[in-house]
Chains A and B, each alone.
Chain A
Amino acid sequence: MGTLELIVLLSLLSLGTDAYGIPIRDEIHRRIGRNISFGAVYVTLQRLQGKGLVESRTGEPTAERGGRAKKFFRVTKAGRQAVDHSRHAIEAMSAGLQEARGAV
């Protein structure tokens, strides 16, 4: 799983069920200061959906969106497992890094 995919998955988990493009992008910007385009957010979400890590549903159209509907995303069980797997790998490798630094 790529870094951006992991970041988007983590933002979806922290946002809960009503996550769509704007809150996802804002959450990423708020947490890590990275300003991602909507296009990039949706490319990543489509990749994650293709892997079965997220699922989507279409909301109701609203006037402030020019009559367009929101597309809500949520993390699947496989997505949660993928996040746990990645976090475990990062923690294990980080521990190794600390050991190496301690040895120097």
Chain B
Amino acid sequence: MILSWATRILSSLLPEEDAEAVVGDLCEEYEHRSKAAGPSVAGIYYLREVCRSISAALRLRAVEVVRKAPWGVAIGSYLLVGVSQIGLTLMLSPIWPEVAQTTSAWGIVVVTPVVASIAYVAAKLNRVAPFFLGVMMFAVAALLIVATTETISTGYALSFLVLGLLSAVLGGSIPCPRQRP
């Protein structure tokens, strides 16, 4: 009964493609140990191995979710961009008031490397996430430009529209040294 529940818990934590392999290996080991040392010893071994595998299984599940959900990574990155932008504005506005103005070109200049850095990290989690991040930034910028009641120059509108997309795509294109074998 306990072994059955332990197996169910582990299986539910693992991606479908790996659940069969991991639980199958555990069952095979249980059979061997059960024949050699008895079902009690094998059962204790089985439970111990399940507990040890759960943390690894959680990591495996997280990797799979991130791999299959570029939009999730992109939305998380977008929120991070927003939080970073607010943080930077609050930090810099006392010494550099132009940054805090809503239609300041300096605001875009300050945020661009932040977007590129976040896209670089997002690319490590999911290779296409920076592209989705760029598309989101482009869409939101277009909406804001259309909806704003303030008078903005064409140059500012164009840079606001394009720089978010560009910095996200470029940041995501920076090769990751750790991925090199």
- Chain A interfacial positions (CB closer than 8 Å to B): 1, 20-22, 25, 37-40, 42-43, 46-47, 50-51, 53, 62, 64-66, 68-71, 78, 81-82, 85-86
In the bound assembly, the distance between CA atoms of A91 and B1 in angstroms comes to: 51
In the bound assembly, the distance between CA atoms of A71 and B28 in angstroms comes to: 13
In the bound assembly, the distance between CA atoms of A31 and B90 in angstroms comes to: 56
Q: Interface 1/0s, chain B 150-180, versus A by CB < 8 A?
A: 0000000000000000000000000000010
Q: Say whether, besides A39-B55, A43-B59, A68 and B20 are in contact (CB < 8 Å).
A: yes
- Chain B interfacial positions (CB closer than 8 Å to A): 14, 17-18, 20-29, 31, 49, 52-57, 59-60, 63, 67, 179, 181
Complex interface: chain B residues within 8 A of A46 (CB): 18, 60, 63
B127, chain A: closest CB distance, angstroms? 10
Closest to B35 in A: A64
A interface, by DSSP: helix, strand, loop or mixed? helix
Q: Supply 16 A–B pairs (Cβ within 8 Å), ascending by A.
A: A20-B21, A37-B49, A38-B49, A39-B60, A43-B57, A46-B60, A53-B181, A62-B28, A64-B27, A66-B23, A66-B27, A68-B20, A68-B23, A69-B21, A70-B25, A81-B181
A57, chain B: closest CB distance, angstroms? 11
A71, chain B: closest CB distance, angstroms? 4
In the bound assembly, the distance between CA atoms of A53 and B181 in angstroms comes to: 9
Q: Are B24 and A65 in contact (CB under 8 A)?
A: yes
B28 CB contact (under 8 Å) in A47, A53, A65, A82: A65
Instruction: Contacts A38-B53, A39-B22 known; list 12 others, CB within 8 Å.
Output: A21-B21, A40-B56, A42-B18, A42-B22, A42-B56, A43-B59, A50-B63, A65-B27, A68-B21, A71-B21, A81-B181, A86-B181
In the bound assembly, the distance between CA atoms of A5 and B122 in angstroms comes to: 23
From B18, B23, B52, B181, residue with most partner A Cβ within 10 Å: B181
Closest to A48 in B: B181
In the bound assembly, the distance between CA atoms of A17 and B27 in angstroms comes to: 22
Complex interface: chain A residues within 8 A of B20 (CB): 68-69, 71
In the bound assembly, the distance between CA atoms of A50 and B63 in angstroms comes to: 10
Complex interface: chain B residues within 8 A of A38 (CB): 22, 25-26, 49, 53, 56
B15, chain A: closest CB distance, angstroms? 8
